[in-house]
Amino acid sequence: MDVLSDVVAAMRMGVPRSARVEWPAPWGQRFPSAPGSAGFQVVLQGSCWAIPPEGEPIPVGTGDVLFFPHGHGYALADSPASPIAESDCDPYAHAELFASASMEGTGPVTVTLCGGYQLDSIQAHPLLGGLPAMIHLPARLGHNTELRAAVELLGREIADPRPGADLVVPALLDMLLLYILRAWFDVSLEHCAAGNWAAALADPAVRAALEGIHRDPAHPWTVESLGRRAGLSRAAFSRRFTQFVGQPPLTYLTWWRLGAAARMLRDSDATLSEIAGAVGYGSEFAFATAFKRAYGTAPGRYRRVGCRPSGRSGQGGSP
């Protein structure tokens, strides 16, 4: 996988959920915070206002996309003056992969497409941490055509499910997440030259090093060997990588290795020795020591009970 695909596959968990909702005016709905998740709203028809917990309401038009990467709460309404109904909406409390609903009312109708993704909140990738609480991608003619196409296909599938929809909808939701991130990265690059993951993935030297780490985490990487791959001296590479990624090269390498190990512990029957070798540790003991230091529990126990660390970020250590 390329780095962005790899990152999204690593941080996504479970099956995404989605719903198409018709809102006749007047209406207002609060969507509570959902830690460990990310959500989106797309206006398919009409217009509305996004009301964040802090700051002024934001007008949202047909084709606009809102993305909430940290699961923060927000509200939508036909007007900032409309009463806001409270909700305990939790898309993961229901079995349906996707649903359609029509609210009561007789006024002009706004149609929204919403969805949610479960994320690995413990092994949260720094790419996600650098995103704002809410991303607003306005519809602009000729811009983000892939994103618009995914939205249109998803809306059609949910409005009129046909055979195969149970496979098509989750695939489209994954595509939508990638297209949202791509669109935001394009916007980010227009406003800053360095210091975020949009710039990191656009920088040839840093991207080359990241691709090496992601494609072969078991390789005995050093700052010098990563620098050679990036075409820079050891010192210049270390400075550049840290500037863009927010972590020194070997810190990120260790974090990625242990995150890959945690996923293998959850999702495979590989032995601890096999996992240790797959992520670059010479012995099961060395792997177990590093894993416990990062996750606060031994890998065997993590696998048995699905244990999550308490007060640990899993972001550091030596390789």
pLDDT at site 271 = 95
CA pair distance 67, 136, nearest whole angstrom: 7
CA 235, CA 238: separation in Å to the nearest integer? 5
| pLDDT tens-digit series, residues 29-64 | 999 888 888 999 999 999 999 999 888 999 999 999
Is the confidence at residue 189, as pLDDT, over 90? no
Band of the pLDDT at 73, cuts 50, 70, 90?
Answer: very high
The CA-atom distances, in angstroms, between 141 and each of 48, 118, 151, 178, 215 are 20, 31, 15, 20, 37
The Cα–Cα gap between 190 and 257 comes to 32
Nearest Cα neighbor of 76 from 49, 114, 53, 112 is: 49
- Tell me the per-residue pLDDT of 250-261, one tens digit each, with 9 for 90 and over: 999 999 999 999
CB 43 within 8 A of CB 63: yes
Q: Which of 129, 94, 130, 131 is nearest to 114 (CA)?
A: 94
Confidence of residue 89 (pLDDT cuts 50, 70, 90): low
Q: Give pTM, 2 decimals.
A: 0.83
Contacts of residue 311, Cβ cutoff 8 Å, sequence gap at least 6? 296
Residue 234 carries which side chain, given as an amino acid letter? R
Q: Is the pLDDT of residue 1 over 70?
A: no
Query: What's the confidence (pLDDT) of residue 191?
Result: 61
Strand intervals (E) in the chain? 12-24, 28-31, 37-45, 48-51, 58-60, 65-68, 74-77, 98-102, 109-119, 135-137
pLDDT of residue 318: 37
Q: What is the pLDDT confidence band of residue 306, given thresholds at 50, 70 and 90?
A: low
Domains of the chain: 3-191 (2.60.120.280), 203-305 (1.10.10.60)
CA distances from 114 to 30, 43, 211, 306 (A): 13, 9, 33, 30
Ramachandran class of 62: left when φ > 0, alpha when ψ lies in -120 to 50, beta otherwise: beta
Mapped onto helix, strand or coil, the DSSP state of residue 283 is coil
